[in-house]
């Protein structure tokens, strides 16, 4: 009876643990392995017996080594340390903060300051992979109960971003919203170390430069500036972008002086000049009240200096509208 108990115990330990050593099953280990291997041995000539024995020994050792590497004991638990994860996260943020300080002294994006000041054009966003799409987010009137849908994916050959969907101006049946029908694509606010909000400095440029391909619909280009500690989500600067249908790309150039100030989608009577050294994000909105499918393909978004454009601000402010400007 005791012998039978030892046999069962050895078999249970063999199933539970990964390493089939003879120490775990002293009664079945070596002899059972030799017996099973002897059953599978083919009949060989005496001259080849030694070489075949060496080959089988090498294959058996290699097989045992693979088993020991691939199969793990279920009792072994992964070593998870929350303190180490927090420490690694803090070290990563301090490393990013050090890089920001070094780049600030060297110049924008780590380049020499003289080189950055002399550049005439700059690509801010381009779309060549999934990591470029992660810098953007899409939204629609579904957030208020509407029926519009919008999607963002990479274009052909990973050389552009394709914004597409369906616009629906049907108002939600909630008893509150009287109008609907918009889709938008908005860039994410850049973040530095410790999740600090960063901004873009375009003060040395005077024109927004885009290479797009659309279906003939008019879009609204929106630029937000970060001037306060808290981001003012309802205030932005906007201008129109008219696309033409067809297979050809078009280059859109919009001077920053043309962007008008709006709040909650309404153009304000008092206009303010866009502060180009505190740009937080840019976006594209479709709300032309034409139901149906749409698409907008974007190659890149950049800024450049147009020497022919000398206008500083395209809109006037009268003393009645803004007396503070005329004191």
Tell me: the pLDDT tens digits for 65-110? Answer: 443 444 445 555 556 687 878 888 888 877 877 777 776 666 666 6
Give residue 232's pLDDT.
65
Residue 92 confidence (pLDDT): 83
pLDDT at site 22:
42
The rounded radius of gyration (Å) of the Cα atoms in the chain is 34
Residues 6+ apart with CB under 8 A from 62: none
Structure tokens at 17: 């643990």
Residues 274 and 297 in one domain: yes
CA dihedral 116, 118, 124, 127 (to 10 degrees): -110
Residue 288 placed within a domain: yes
Same domain (yes/no): 239, 151: yes
DSSP H helical ranges for the chain: 2-16, 29-40, 49-70, 82-106, 113-118, 130-133
> Which residues, listed in sequence order, are joined to residue 250 by a DSSP beta bridge?
212
Are 216 and 114 members of one domain?
A: no
Residue 37 confidence (pLDDT): 43
Rounded-to-integer distance, Cα 139 and Cα 151, Å: 9
Is residue 25 within 8 Å of residue 10, measured between CB atoms? yes
Residues 97, 142 within the same domain: no
Place of tokens 């070596």: 30
Q: Which residues of the chain have pLDDT under 70?
A: 1-80, 103-118, 227-233, 319-327
Please report the pLDDT score of residue 169 as a whole number: 92
- Cα separation, 200 vs 149, in Å, equals 30
H/E stretch holding 125: strand 121-126
The answer to whether position 6 is within a domain reads yes
Residue 37, Cβ density class (10 Å: 0-12 exposed, 13-18 middle, ≥19 buried): exposed
Q: In terms of domains, do 256 and 123 share one?
A: yes
Domain total of the chain: 3
pLDDT at 124: 95
CATH code of the domain covering residue 160: 2.60.120.430
The verdict on 182 and 225 lying in the same domain is: yes
Does 270 lie in the same domain as 237?
Answer: yes
Q: How far is CA 53 from CA 41, 196, 212, 243, in A?
A: 10, 67, 71, 77
């Amino acid at each position: 009876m005791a012998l039978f108990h030892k046999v069962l115990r050895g078999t249970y330990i063999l199933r539970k643990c990964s390493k089939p050593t003879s120490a775990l099953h002293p009664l079945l280990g070596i002899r059972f392995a030799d017996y099973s291997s002897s059953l599978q041995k083919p009949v060989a000539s005496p001259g080849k017996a030694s070489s075949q024995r060496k080959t089988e020994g090498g294959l058996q050792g290699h097989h045992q080594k693979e088993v020991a590497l691939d199969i793990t004991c279920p009792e072994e638990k992964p070593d998870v340390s929350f303190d180490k994860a927090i420490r690694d996260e803090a070290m990563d943020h301090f490393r990013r903060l050090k890089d920001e300080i070094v780049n600030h002294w060297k110049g924008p994006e780590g380049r020499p300051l003289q080189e950055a000041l002399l550049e005439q054009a700059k690509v801010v966003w381009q779309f060549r992979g999934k990591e470029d799409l992660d810098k953007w987010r899409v939204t629609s009137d579904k957030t208020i109960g509407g029926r519009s849908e919008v999607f963002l994916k990479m274009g052909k050959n990973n050389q552009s971003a394709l914004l597409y969907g369906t616009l629906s101006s049907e108002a939600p049946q909630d008893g509150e919203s009287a109008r609907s029908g918009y889709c938008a694509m908005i860039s994410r606010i850049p973040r530095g170390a410790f999740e600090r909000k960063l901004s873009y400095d375009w003060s040395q440029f005077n024109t927004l430069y885009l290479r797009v391909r659309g279906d003939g619909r008019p879009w609204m280009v929106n630029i937000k500036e970060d001037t306060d500690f808290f981001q003012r989500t309802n205030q932005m600067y906007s201008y129109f972008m008219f696309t033409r249908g067809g297979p050809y790309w078009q280059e859109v150039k919009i001077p920053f002086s043309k962007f008008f100030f709006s709040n909650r989608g309404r153009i304000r009577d008092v206009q303010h000049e866009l502060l180009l050294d505190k740009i937080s994000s840019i976006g594209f909105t479709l709300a032309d009240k034409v139901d149906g499918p749409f698409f907008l393909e974007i190659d890149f978004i950049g800024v450049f200096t147009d020497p022919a454009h000398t206008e500083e601000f395209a809109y006037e402010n009268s003393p009645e509208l803004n007396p503070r400007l005329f004191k």
